[in-house]
Amino acid sequence: MPEPRTLVWFRADLRVADNPALHTAAKRGPVVGLFLLAYEQWREHDWGHNRLRFLLDHLSALSHRLAELGIPLRVRTCDRFADAAQAVLRAARDEGCDAVYCNREYEWNERQRDRGVAELLRHNGIEIAGFDDQVLLRPGTVQTGAGGFFTVFTPFRKACLKLLADGLPQPLPEPAAQGPSIEPTALPESPPDFPGADADLSRFPGGEDAAHARLEAFVAEQQVDYAARRDFPGIDGTSGLSPYLACGAISARQCFDVGAAREPFDDSTFLTEILWREFYRHVVF
């Protein structure tokens, strides 16, 4: 029988380290990456020119990192989320993949998209598996004493800290190379009709290496003063990690792992902000 081949569908997880879908797929056998450029959907969600540039910078960095591991990245255009099911099915068939792995997104449009993709793939005999990469604790596992879900942050935080006291989730390593390095995928330029003029994005370079450099510098130089400095826009008092977390160039687990080595995780304003992000995902789930 041919060796199982998995299509890893990248979305808001543009990194190779601590990527559960990629990590698990690589253990299964050969991997092909996929990213869908949903230009029309992004326009409807009020994306601007510079946000798209930022995404493409990260996608380019991901393509180079995957190429070093011998993993190709296929980039296809898919106007809207409603078209994703057919696009993923075609990609899986074109690459000879019998399974599609992806990391879950919890927002409404994304969940509707993923339900449609899963239904079509299963109907065509292709396995699909989802993983939780955006959270420290799987949504649905942090519950009140009565077995319900939290709607207020402070008790949610206390419940999370109690669960995390049993052991912080450890980031996953990047997968081993599946072969010799290959040429990275060439990416398209930003479409000209996205609104907004070019801004200087040099302060926010693309790629997970840039994200980790920012995290390490913040933890070493600013984390202990974060509570006192973060609310003053005239000073550089924040981590600057929000856009990197949003596109998945770095994970909450990686931030917690590095931040908790600097100060106790249950007494850290910075790590409490990471838990606010966690709370949002648990609520929308």
The whole-number pLDDT of residue 185 equals 92
CA dihedral 105, 85, 74, 64 (to 10 degrees): 0
CA-wise closest residue to 240 among 254, 253, 251, 230: 230
Residue 205, token pair as written in the block: 């370079």
CA–CA distance, 255 with 56 (Å, rounded to integer): 23
Q: Which residue has the higher pLDDT, 166 or 68?
A: 68
The whole-number pLDDT of residue 225 equals 85
Residue 160, token pair as written in the block: 């999370």
CA-wise closest residue to 25 among 82, 90, 88, 102: 102
CA–CA distance, 58 with 209 (Å, rounded to integer): 10
Angle at 123 between CA 122 and CA 124, to 5 degrees: 85
The domains of the chain are located at 1-133, 136-170+205-285
> What's the chain's average pLDDT?
93
Say whether domain 136-170+205-285 belongs to CATH 1.25.40.80. Answer: yes
Rg (CA), the chain: 19
Q: So what's the architecture of 1-133 in CATH?
A: 3-Layer(aba) Sandwich (3.40)
pTM over 0.85: yes
pLDDT digits (tens, 9 = 90+) for 259-282: 998 888 888 999 999 999 999 999
Domains 1-133 and 136-170+205-285 are alike in CATH topology: no
pLDDT digits (tens, 9 = 90+) for 211-240: 999 999 999 988 888 888 888 888 888 899
pLDDT digits (tens, 9 = 90+) for 132-153: 999 999 998 999 989 889 999 9
pLDDT digits (tens, 9 = 90+) for 38-96: 999 999 999 998 899 999 999 999 999 999 999 999 999 999 999 999 999 999 999 99
